[in-house]
Homo-oligomer: A and B are copies of this chain.
Amino acid sequence: MLSKKTRYAFRALSYLAENYGGGPVLISEISKEKKIPLKFLENILNELKKANLLESKKGKGGGYFLKLSPKKINLATVIRVINGPIALLPCVSLNFYEKCEDCDEEICGIRKVMTITRDVTLKILEKKTLYNIIHASV
């Protein structure tokens, strides 16, 4: 399951996507509108910034805004930044790979299934973007 933090991230990003092109948005505004604890949100937005999804501006008239168009930010990227691996096993993860002990990867049956699972999941999460989630009714 995705952490609460990740769900907050999606909500915040949706809000920023809706305001894309409209200049910086205050943390406090997002916090209020999307009901996300302010200081926690501060943290989340900063991580997203470090991951190059957001940009920020300090001082008056400052705030956060999307660095890329909502169509160019896919859900897999967001999940990886805030939540971590998408694969169900470390030995199957593309971005967080870790070898598993006591297991021959060549013949491991679980690994094979989890690889397939990862692939179909990624096919969706990498294709769907912030644009898709704010225009879901279409």
Q: Which of B102, B112, B116, B137 is A35 in contact with, Cβ under 8 Å?
A: B102
Are the CB atoms of A89 and B121 closer together than 8 Å?
A: no
Say how far A69's CB is from chain B's closest CB, in angstroms.
16
Say how far A103's CB is from chain B's closest CB, in angstroms.
9
A90 sits at the interface (CB 8 A): yes
Q: Binary interface profile of A, 97-131, with partner B (CB < 8 Å = 1, else 0)?
A: 00010100001111011001100110011001000
Main DSSP-derived SS at the A contact region:
helix
Interface residues on A, range: 35 or more
**Copies of this chain, how many?**
2
A7 sits at the interface (CB 8 A): yes
> Inside 8 A of A14's CB, which chain B residues have their CB?
109-110
Q: Binary interface profile of A, 50-76, with partner B (CB < 8 Å = 1, else 0)?
A: 000000000000000000000000010
A10 sits at the interface (CB 8 A): yes
> Inside 8 A of A89's CB, which chain B residues have their CB?
1-2, 7
Instruction: List residues of chain A with CB under 8 Å of any chain B CB.
Output: 1-2, 7, 10, 14, 34-35, 75, 84-85, 87-90, 100, 102, 107-110, 112-113, 116-117, 120-121, 124-125, 128, 132-137
